[in-house]
Amino acid sequence: MRVMVIVKANKDSEAGVLPSREILSEMGKFNEELVKAGVMLAGEGLHSSAKGVRVKFGGGKSRVIDGPFTETKELIAGFWLWQVKSMEEAIEWIRRSPFQKSNEEIEIRRVFEAEDFGANLAPELKAQEESQRERLAARKN
C-alpha cells in the first residue's frame, strides 16, 4: 500500500526559516534508509504559503487567493510518498525519523489505489489510469 506522510507546517517553516545543516544531514541519512529499503517513492519540502496560492471554486467560477495563509496548523511543509506493507510499518518508519527529537506532528494517510473504487471504476477508466501510470514511470527512467 502507498501512504502519504505529511509534515505539518510550523511558525519557522512559514517564516521561510530553512533547516540547519545538521537537520538536513539527519534527514538525508533517514531518506537514504528509506530508499535502500524500497519504501520511499517521493519526498519533497515545500516553500512557505507566502509563495503559494489557493484556487477556490464555486458557482461555476474560480477565484485565486494569494498566500500567506494564516492557519498554520492546516498547512503542510513537506511530504513523502511511501510504499509499505501496512500502516503499522509506516508508523515504525516515522518513529525512526529525525522528527523524534522535535515537537512536530506528522500525519500518515493511505493513498487510494484503483481497486479501492470497486465497481465505480469502469474498465475503461481503470485502463486509462494504468496507462497514465505506465507513461509516468517511463518518464522517470
For 78-114, the pLDDT digits (tens) are 999 999 999 999 999 999 999 888 888 899 999 998 8
Nearest CA among 113, 120, 140 for reference residue 1: 113
Is the confidence at residue 10, as pLDDT, over 80? yes
CA angle 39, 43, 44 (to 5 degrees): 170
Query: Is there a domain that residue 115 lies in?
Result: no
Domain with 23 in it: 2-110
Nearest CA among 38, 47, 48, 115 for reference residue 83: 38
pLDDT, residue 117, reads 85
CATH of the domain at 48: 3.30.70.1060
Query: Is there a domain that residue 25 lies in?
Result: yes
Query: Is there a domain that residue 92 lies in?
Result: yes
pLDDT, residue 6, reads 97
Nearest CA among 94, 83, 88 for reference residue 1: 83
pLDDT, residue 134, reads 85
DSSP state of 63: E
pLDDT, residue 96, reads 95
Q: Residue range 5-22: average pLDDT?
A: 93
* Set of cell numbers at residue 27: 534527514
Cβ density class 56-74: b for 16+ within 10 Å, e for less = eeeeeeeeeeeeebeebee
Identify whether the C-beta of residue 97 lies closer than 8 Å to the C-beta of residue 12: no
Query: Is there a domain that residue 131 lies in?
Result: no
Query: Is there a domain that residue 100 lies in?
Result: yes
pTM of the model: 0.86
Q: How many domains does the chain have?
A: 1
Q: Residue range 17-44: average pLDDT?
A: 96
Query: Which secondary structure element, helix H or strand E, spans residue 122, and what is its range?
Result: none
Query: Is there a domain that residue 119 lies in?
Result: no
Query: Is there a domain that residue 139 lies in?
Result: no
Query: Is there a domain that residue 67 lies in?
Result: yes
